[in-house]
Amino acid sequence: MKETAFIQQNKKKWARFEKLSGNKNNDPDEVSELFTEITEDLSYARTFYPRRSVRVYLNQLAQGVFTSLYKQRKQPIGNFAKYWTETVPLEMYRARYILLTSFLFFLLAAGIGILSQHFDADFVRVILGDDYVESTERRIAAGNPMGVYGTMDEGSMFWQITVNNIRVAFMVFAAGITFTILSYFLLLYNGVMLGSFQWWFKSKGLLLTSFLAVWIHGAFEISSIVIAGAAGITVGNGLIFPKSYTRLQSLVFSAKRGLVIMLSLIPFFIIAGFLESYVTRHYQSIPDVVKALIILVSFTIMILYYVIYPHFVAKRHPEKIEVKEIPRYIQKRPIEWFKIRNVGETFTDTFYIFVQKISHLSRIFFGVIFPLALVLCAVIYLFEYKRFDYTDMTWYENMGTLFGTGTDFEFYKLFGWPLLLALLLGAVYFVTQDDSEETLISNYFKFILKPFIWLYVFSVAIFAALIFSPGFPIFVMLFASPFFLLIPVIILKEKKNFFAAFGRCFSLGKNSYGDALGSILVFSLITVIFFFFLKNPLTGGFLDLIVTIVREFTITVTDHYNIVLALVSSLIYLLFIFFMFCLVFFSIILCYYNAAEKETATSLYDRLKHFGRRSRTVENSLDFD
């Protein structure tokens, strides 16, 4: 676009922004929206008109109101009220058909549970487990069928129930990223469980008793799960139907919409947890009329707020129903490799490089490395499947058996996994040097062919040190890692063999030891945090969700379903390790260039070559003649 056309297209908006920014009594939301558009125009001008006056004008316009804008936006009470009276209802109105879909699907799932239980008296055991069914039968015999709600003290139960309900709901929401598949599955699972559970009590002649007890808290809890399903489907629909946006842009917009819905559910989960912990336990002493009234009021609140009230808000604000999403323009910046970075800069640039290179890296990983990992896993399970019993294995036992620590050591693991590690080391470094598209894989093989043997030697040494060393030496190795982890970068960048790189890593590593160690510690902490999302030993995690789904599909197909669960878990652990390893090695590459810059001052000499030349990024009077 020509500069004149760009100015003509946006000048009214800029003039409006100037007028609003100079007036103290204005609508901060309108100013905020215009400010966002101004900053996007500024990014565009910086890219296409870097030496023109329009860029200077927009820069001054944005900077001049930045401070005052955010002072005016400090209206926490008004924004909080607006969130509940306008933002959430409008979002629910936009998602009204998705909510209907979620509700009908859940209703269908409950019907499946009822029919399955009706024709198979033991179906509830498959869904809820033998222990739960048998303990409930003992309570029925004792005259307290819903006594499970009184087995814990109120405070502990309230905390655990509330956290678990919120966790389940957010899993349903986050599962939408699987193109809605897992969101629908979790709705199916919860619906079948509810239907079979209630119909099992009917077979015991206790349908009304169980209904009036369970739905005291279930009205809020189950309704919230259905709405969370709608939020998850909203996220998935953004991936399935991106419209004119890229899938990533559409995902960001839909995730933002779904998150608005999800956050509104938290108070209702807290209320449900309170009712379940403090009220449901007294179901026998509460009159049926009171229980029915609690259930009716609870459903009325949910229907009024999430179904009926959104229509009134949409009618009152018809201009706000359609949301105009503006993709944020992100200017690409070249990576300055030879640069002295502190830990914070290394952290930021690592994620920037990872985002920029993940597409190419994924092509190499899933095209070359992951198939070989599948072959190695197949060999391990073929020879050692009896060692994998998912019902009794902890995550470290699973990974220990997979990688061969302790009594699970086998020599083929010592030489198999380093092969994949060497390929991955080469791939991470390669994508920082090559931007080809069509010849990516072939160029990668040409690149890795010569240094591969030395990368493999390094990988065997590191792998052997990790699996043979007891705890304390590994702790010591952490503080030596800023030296040793430079070896593969030296091999690849400086074309040295393993032994020469080993000697060089000490002289080079001392130049940036503190920053490198800080980066390694930061990414170690991030690894632990991410792992808790994957496998939380206290409340479960994403892996438990996947395992639950796989178990339901395989438990009726094979008696060796535990082996399938262990295999699935192993592959997920491998993907997690791949993700975190790439982040760490990208940071090590930056640490290498950091140390090399301190040693050779490459970037400094390059700047000295251009000393005295006119700057192309800073204006002077000559730029506007």
128 within 8 A of 193, measured Cβ to Cβ:
yes
d(CA 156, CA 278): 11
| pLDDT over threshold 60, residue 24 | no
Q: What angle do CA 571, 575, 581 make, to 5 degrees?
A: 140
**Banded pLDDT at 624 (limits 50, 70, 90):** very low
Q: Is there a single domain that holds both residue 203 and residue 136?
A: yes
Burial 233-266 (b: 16+ CB within 10 A, else e): bbbbbbbeebeebeeebbbebbbebbbbbbebbe
The pLDDT tens digits of the residues spanning 199-224 come to 999 988 998 999 999 999 999 999 99
Residues 58 and 94 placed together within one structural domain of the fold: no
Residue 382 within any structural domain of the chain? yes
Q: For residue 40, what are the domain limits?
A: 3-74
pLDDT at 2: 73
Residues 86, 62 share a domain: no
Where is pLDDT greater, at 435 or 64? 435
**Rounded Cα–Cα distance for residues 497 and 487 (Å):** 9
Q: How many CB atoms lie within 10 A of CB 385?
A: 14
The pLDDT value recorded for residue 333 is 67
Alpha-carbon distance 55 to 46, whole Å? Answer: 6
Please tell me what DSSP assigns to residue 512.
Answer: S
**Same structural domain, 307 and 381:** no
Q: One-letter amino acid identity for 616?
A: R
**Is 584 inside any structural domain?**
yes
Instruction: Quote the CA–CA distance of 601 and 219 in Å, as a whole number.
Output: 67
> 387-409: per-residue pLDDT in tens?
666 555 666 777 777 787 777 77
98 and 58 within one domain: no
* Same-domain check for residues 124 and 55: no
Cβ–Cβ under 8 Å, residues 110 and 191: yes
**Residues 49, 129 within the same domain:** no
45 part of a folded domain: yes
- 370 with 448, same domain: the answer is yes
Q: Which of 119-123, 202-206, 243-247, 602-606 shows the lowest mean pLDDT across its residues?
A: 602-606
Q: Are 579 and 534 in contact (CB under 8 A)?
A: no
Q: Is residue 301 part of a domain?
A: yes
Candidate from 115-124, 213-222, 598-607 with smallest mean pLDDT: 598-607
pLDDT exceeds cutoff 90 at 523? no
Q: How far apart are CA 389 and CA 601, in angstroms?
A: 56
CB 563 within 8 A of CB 388: yes
Count the domains in the chain.
Answer: 3
Let me know whether 139 and 96 are in one domain. yes
- What distance in Å separates the CA atoms of residue 592 and residue 570, rounded to the nearest whole number? 32
16 and 63 assigned to the same domain: yes
Question: 3-class SS at 401?
Answer: helix
- CA gap 425, 492 in Å, rounded: 9
387 and 416 fall within a common domain: yes
- Confidence class of residue 7 from pLDDT cuts 50, 70 and 90? confident
- How many Cα atoms occupy the beta-carbon half-sphere of 511 within 13 Å? 20
| Per-residue pLDDT, 298 | 95
Closest CA relative to residue 41, chosen from 82, 90, 7, 87: 7
Cβ(213)–Cβ(283) under 8 Å?
A: yes
88 or 388, greater pLDDT:
88
Nearest of 171, 107, 221, 271 to residue 99 by alpha carbon: 107
What's the rounded Cα separation, in Å, for the pair 282 and 453? 70
Within a domain: 443: yes
Residue 28 binned pLDDT confidence (cut-offs 50, 70, 90)? low
Let me know if residue 625 belongs to a domain: no
Residue 263 maps to a domain: yes
Residues 106 and 159 in one domain: yes
Confidence class of residue 250 from pLDDT cuts 50, 70 and 90? confident
Residue 150 lies in a domain: yes
